[in-house]
Amino acid sequence: MMNKQEVLSIMEQYGLSATKSLGQNFLCNEDVIGRILDLAEISEKTRVLEIGPGIGALSEEAVKRAGKYVAVEIDTSFQERLDSVITEQGGRVIFQDYLAFSASSLSKEEMPEVVISNLPYYVMTPIMLKVMGDFPSCRKMVYMVEEEALDRIFTKPGTKQYGPLSVLTDLFGAKKKEFVVERSSFVPPPNTTSAVITITRHEGQEMENECISFVESAFALRRKTLVNSLSSKGKYSKEQIAAALRAMEKKETTRAEEMTPSDLFMLYEILERRKDGNQHGV
């Protein structure tokens, strides 16, 4: 595992540098690396996906522990380094922006049970939502995020930060803030402290892409009622949405931010069952 001197040496050896626009900060704390890998619970039978491995701080050990290991990396300048760390150890590296990545490019044997990633703030939400849609049977996700971003994940209804990310992660699994990672654990040090979180899938839960789209649509026009926000996409009529809300004993003027995650999921299920049926009753 890596310390600061090893990271600097690797960067010099391969002529690498951190690209600020990609939010790159390389982990250089052996204790933090070990704790993340322990949280991921990787064994010789585990299928693992890492998003944004960078210089391979986590990959170097994780690929040795895992049964199948795939990494998706946007920056091709890391290819030589990652080939030596991952490919030569039996893993696979796909050089692509994860947001443009198709899960269908993975074989059945590569479909991950565990996803790990150090997520840059600017792509945290879209990547987390995409992972849930891409891999609905993934049992655990271990993410490093900016501590300031935790509100967007753990916030409750009625707050400014409450939105699709907090709703969908709540529906997907049990969320936990595991520990804080200080700025000094990275090269170069970021401007803020980070935190490691885990999301452990609820037994039997598999997130549908249609549900993800539904929740995003519900919050798309935050100041509008759910009747107006959801009907603007054309999939459901205002009459269908209003009838579904009445069935739930909710006001027709209810906004998305007033609904709990389970409320929104119930609304989704009612509308999906009824969208081709009677628009005036549920």
| One domain for residues 50 and 169 | yes
Tokens of 229: 């926000």
| One domain for residues 175 and 221 | no
Of the residues 163, 180, 201, the one at which a domain ends = 201
| One domain for residues 225 and 175 | no
| One domain for residues 238 and 185 | no
The answer to whether residue 122 sits within a structural domain is: yes
Tokens of 106: 């993975």
How far is Cα 101 from Cα 129, in angstroms, rounded to an integer? 13
Unique residue bearing structure tokens 């996803």: 115
Q: In what order do the strands lie in the sheet with 68-73?
A: 92-95, 68-73, 47-51, 114-118, 140-146, 194-201, 173-181
| One domain for residues 63 and 82 | yes
Q: Where are the alpha helices (DSSP H) in 135-208?
A: 150-154, 164-172
Q: Are 211 and 262 in contact (CB under 8 A)?
A: no
Query: Which residues neighbour 214 within 8 Å (Cβ) at sequence distance 6 or greater?
Result: 230, 264, 268, 271
The answer to whether residue 22 sits within a structural domain is: yes
Q: What is the pLDDT along the chain (282 residues), one digit of tens a residue?
A: 688 899 999 989 999 888 888 888 999 999 999 999 999 999 999 999 999 999 999 999 999 999 999 999 999 999 999 999 999 999 999 999 999 999 999 999 999 999 999 998 889 999 999 999 999 999 999 999 999 999 999 999 999 999 999 999 999 999 999 999 999 999 999 999 999 999 999 998 888 899 999 999 999 998 899 999 999 988 999 999 999 999 999 999 999 999 999 999 999 999 998 655 444 333
Closest CA to 33 of 10, 16, 9, 55: 55
Closest CA to 194 of 11, 21, 35: 35
Of the residues 156, 172, 201, the one at which a domain ends = 201
The answer to whether residue 282 sits within a structural domain is: no
114-118 vs 140-146, strand pairing mode: parallel
How far is Cα 171 from Cα 168, in angstroms, rounded to an integer? 5
Question: What does the pLDDT read at residue 282?
Answer: 31
- CATH of residue 60's domain is 3.40.50.150
Question: What does the pLDDT read at residue 194?
Answer: 96
| One domain for residues 160 and 262 | no
Domain range spanning residue 243? 209-274
Query: Which residues neighbour 127 within 8 Å (Cβ) at sequence distance 6 or greater?
Result: 51, 98, 99, 117, 119
Number of domains in the chain: 2
| One domain for residues 55 and 84 | yes
How far is Cα 53 from Cα 82, in angstroms, rounded to an integer? 8
